Amino acid sequence: MAIANPVEVYAASSPQEAQLLKDLLSEAGINAEITEDVTPDGEWMGVSAAPYHSSRMWVDDEMAETAAEILREYEQQRDKKLEAREEAAVHLVEARCEECGQISTFSAALRGTVQECPKCGASMDVGPATDGDWWKADGDVVKL
Ligand SMILES: [Zn+2]
């Protein structure tokens, strides 16, 4: 199905993303076309450059506004997912098992508690992630 008045609505970063978006638009009854922009591998000013790739999405200009709205929603959801992942990473703490030396990752909510080592099952303290020597300091206190 050819598009009468094609308008570019999106430049996807990969063919996979472009295909996903095309499906998304077709679910909404919008016919989208994808064109691939690929510059061949080559040398530029004596420097070899990686091929540049982008998948452009085209829809009929009558559908452009609706399509743009769907694509905006898609981007927002994608960004939310990325933020959630980054937040989860921030709220993790690493701790080392004194029995087997295994470094494990725990939720930061468990900081300051005693947990089971996932590797050997020994009890281990989950300490603050910021101070790398926290277990040595704790050990000194125990010895006294
Ligand atoms: Zn262990």
For the chain, give the DSSP string.
---SSEEEEEEESSHHHHHHHHHHHHHTT--EEEEEEEPPSEEETTEEEPPPEEEEEEEETTTHHHHHHHHHHHHHHHHHHHHHHHHHHHTEEEEE-TTT--EEEEEGGGTTSEEE-TTT--EEE---SS-TTHHHHHHHHHH-
35 with 81, same domain? Answer: yes
Compute the distance from residue 83 Cα to the ligand 1 centre, in Å: 32
Tell which wins on pLDDT, 47 or 89: 89
- Number of separate domains in the chain: 2
Compute the distance from residue 144 Cα to the ligand 1 centre, in Å: 25
User: pLDDT digit string (tens) for 76-131?
Assistant: 999 999 888 888 777 888 899 999 999 999 988 888 899 999 999 999 999 764 54
Compute the distance from residue 106 Cα to the ligand 1 centre, in Å: 14
Q: What is the mean pLDDT of residues 52-72?
A: 91
Q: Which domain holds residue 73?
A: 6-88
Tell which wins on pLDDT, 84 or 136: 84
What CATH number does residue 13 fall under?
3.30.70
Compute the distance from residue 96 Cα to the ligand 1 centre, in Å: 8
Tell which wins on pLDDT, 87 or 48: 87
Residue 1 counted as domain residue: no
Which residues, other chains included, contact 139 with Cβ-Cβ below 8 Å and sequence gap of 6+? none
60 with 106, same domain? Answer: no
Percent of the chain past pLDDT 90, that is, above it, reads 49
The Cα–Cα gap between 19 and 131 comes to 46
- 65: confidence class by pLDDT, cuts 50, 70, 90: very high
Compute the distance from residue 103 Cα to the ligand 1 centre, in Å: 8
Compute the distance from residue 125 Cα to the ligand 1 centre, in Å: 11
68 with 139, same domain? Answer: no
- Is residue 134 left, alpha or beta, with left meaning phi > 0 and alpha meaning psi from -120 to 50? alpha
- 134: confidence class by pLDDT, cuts 50, 70, 90: very low
Q: Does the pLDDT value for residue 36 go beyond 60?
A: yes
27 with 45, same domain? Answer: yes
